[in-house]
Structure 1
Amino acid sequence: MDELDLISRALPEARPLSPEVVAQARARVATARAPRHRSRAWTWTWAGAAIGTAAVVGVVALVANMAEPAAPILASQAKPNQALYDLADKVEQLKEPTTGRYWSELKREGEGGKTATEDRWVPRVAADDPVLIKRSYKKSCVVHRLDLGGRWPDTGLGEFSMVELGALPSDQAALERKLRGFHKVWYDRGFKDSFEDFLPGAASLLSMPVKPAVRASVLRILAAAPHTRVHGTATDPLGRPGLLVTFAKPGAGGTIGKVAVSYRTFLNPSDGRWLAVVALADKDQRVVSYSALVSGGWVDERPLVPKGCKLKG
């Protein structure tokens, strides 16, 4: 009787082992017991017994595992940034309102202990009113009128009209070609960042009036980008749970004042839109500034300039 016979009796519920597995297990035990070539003769001491016992324990573990096969590991489970791919699958199925005269957003911002709110109304077509952006502070507010001819007011990613923004392709490959076109425009203007370093700017599309299918493709493109890192679920500055993600490479955040910062984005786990963007000090990870979305979507109400606000433009 050897170790395998003892194991078989100790684990009668285990599945019968194949001849190949039995031969492999016996070879392991034999190898562990074989004498080593040393300057002194090897004797059966506690050390030798430990090695033999370890081999038997390894065989016991092998048999025990065979009694309850482990679940297969799917390739998708090992994919980096899997949470973004899962969110994209969810977003792709959404049905969101697509009608309205203005794209309206309300944001809250904070920096250096001071807070402000920003309301913006972007008309769907150029024939409507200019873009209105109202910034409200503790005791004052300013309304900016921007005659942009139907263009989206933020040009960090590219310059496009509201019509072009609404017509962005939802196909991932076609959308990536569009992004490469935006990158070429910037490159030709003298900004020599690689496409991979330019790509984090695509995250701005997550705050724009694009179709859910487009937002889903943006999430997948960003999930595959080399600098993207998912940090798990965390609470944003307004106390809401969100998926915390870094899109840019380390050191790319620049400075606020004289403080070097890095940016992290909170994504809404329900619709994939951004909840907040936070600037963290590289030195001690404290929050230097933040911008959080309170509400947003298509509306028909014509915006009015509140009394007491300064009007510019």
Structure 2
Amino acid sequence: MDELQMLRQALPEAQGPSPEVVATGRALLTSNQNAVRPGGRRGRRVWMAGLAATAVGAAALVAVFGVGGPADRSSKDQPMSARQILLAAATTSEGRPSTTGRYWHAEIRNVPEPVTVEHGRIRYRLAMTVDQTNVWIARSPKDLSWYLQGGDPTFTAPTPADAAAWRRDGSPTVFIKAKPRPECCGPMSDGPDDSEVLRPWPAGKAAPHGWRLATESTLPGRYVKGPRSILLGESRHKVSVTDVMALPTEPARLKARLQALADPAALKSFGRTPTEGMYDAVRDLLILAPAPPKVRAAAFRLLATFPGINTLGKERDPLGREGIGLIVTDPSFRQGGSYQDRFIIDPATANILAVGNQNAPGNHNAYTPVSARWTNTAPTLPAQRVPDRQP
């Protein structure tokens, strides 16, 4: 059974697609390599098919994966490939309205797993958030752009018993933990996992030998003067909102432009391969940058040409939002390594819901939920504010 047949079964009969829409959707979902060949005529006819194809692209993702829409009647059938998912996301993106505001606000939230705290005979679990990031990209060069990190740590007890034990312990907000053993962690990790045990510690007091603080101080808010305020990829090349708005809308030209923006020396310092660097730039373009609909569509089509991107099926992010998970598995990303990038797409909007990674088969770090939108509301600024002096 093909994807369009699944779509017809998942949608109510009264709202079924017309023959023209079915034909357009079939061309989208079963397109061969010519459909994504930059500049190819056949590919351009598919990409510019209009709102009817957009509806089919989004509805097909919902129907096949049963996410955010009608009941899933096709779970026993062959799911869409990662390439088909990315192409459908491109079509969905292309059909969405273009909006603007005073700021592009991207929120990157850390939702960690609970950690264990021990203090004498008292033992309980806490979930601590210490490194939330909020990015406010000003549309006008007359406004400042802001990168706000840190903030006051927040603590949540997973159960009433944990909450009661935390209160009996004096509700501490500063903790220490043992330094990681050299053999516990791979080269990409800075410490053991969240199952390690913490101890309460007085605020302002240095950690004892062999221990380190588990909570960090509030970081100052960094602001950017001038238009170049968006960082794309690990090379952290700065571009402006105007630059993003003018990015190419064809995958091959977009790739060439992003390659021109990349700093090979910076990529090498971060240990990222050129393929990984391109993935990083496209990821940040889809999350941190206010890319217009056609540029977002080109970014998804560019991702569809990447080697070794596979689907994970239905996934939930730490906030409970459900989408379609994708993972980068091709060894060309990291020769000899197993570090893999993952992300979750909302099939209804083609927004990126969360990003994450996987360090080894069967073992992965938690997803980091993200959200981004235009807003006219200025950020609430911290007491400490410093300029971002990075060139």
Q: Give the TM-score normalised by structure 2.
A: 0.51
Question: Do the aligned residues in 2 keep the contact of 1:165 with 1:210 (CA within 8 Å)?
Answer: yes
Q: Does 1:229 align with 2:310?
A: yes
Q: Does 1:106 align with 2:107?
A: yes
* 2:300 match: secondary structure: helix
Distance of 1:226 and 1:311 partners within structure 2: 42
Distance 1:163 1:142, change over 3 A: same
Q: Does 1:200 align with 2:279?
A: yes
Question: Do the aligned residues in 2 keep the contact of 1:265 with 1:278 (CA within 8 Å)?
Answer: yes
Distance of 2:98 and 2:304 partners within structure 1: 23
> Where does structure 1 lack aligned partners over 5 or more consecutive residues?
1-72
Q: Does 1:277 align with 2:355?
A: yes
Q: Give the TM-score normalised by structure 1.
A: 0.62
Distance of 1:279 and 1:266 partners within structure 2: 11
Cα distance per residue 1:234-271 (max 9 Å; x no partner):
212211111211236349579xxxx9743210112123
Distance of 1:186 and 1:210 partners within structure 2: 24
Q: Which residue of 2 aligns with 1:146?
A: 223
CA shift for structure 1 position 210: 0.2
Distance of 2:320 and 2:331 partners within structure 1: 26
* 1:198 match: secondary structure: helix
Bigger CA drift: 198-207 or 153-162? 153-162
Q: Which residue of 1 aligns with 2:143?
A: 128
Distance of 1:189 and 1:92 partners within structure 2: 30
CA shift for structure 1 position 211: 0.6
> Aligned-residue CA RMSD in angstroms?
3.4
Report how many residues are paired.
231
Distance 1:310 1:187, change over 3 A: closer
* 1:271 match: secondary structure: coil
Larger radius of gyration: 1
Distance 1:226 1:74, change over 3 A: same
Alignment partner of 2:372 out of 296, 300, 304: 296
1:1-313 → structure 2 map (5 Å cutoff) = 76-77=29-30, 81-98=83-100, 100-111=101-112, 113=114, 114-116=128-130, 117-136=132-151, 137-138=153-154, 141-156=218-233, 158-183=237-262, 185-186=263-264, 195-201=274-280, 202-207=282-287, 208-247=289-328, 249-250=330-331, 252=333, 261-282=339-360, 284-286=362-364, 288-293=365-370, 295-305=371-381, 310-313=384-387
Distance of 2:136 and 2:28 partners within structure 1: 44
Letter in 2 for 1:299: T
CA shift for structure 1 position 152: 2.8
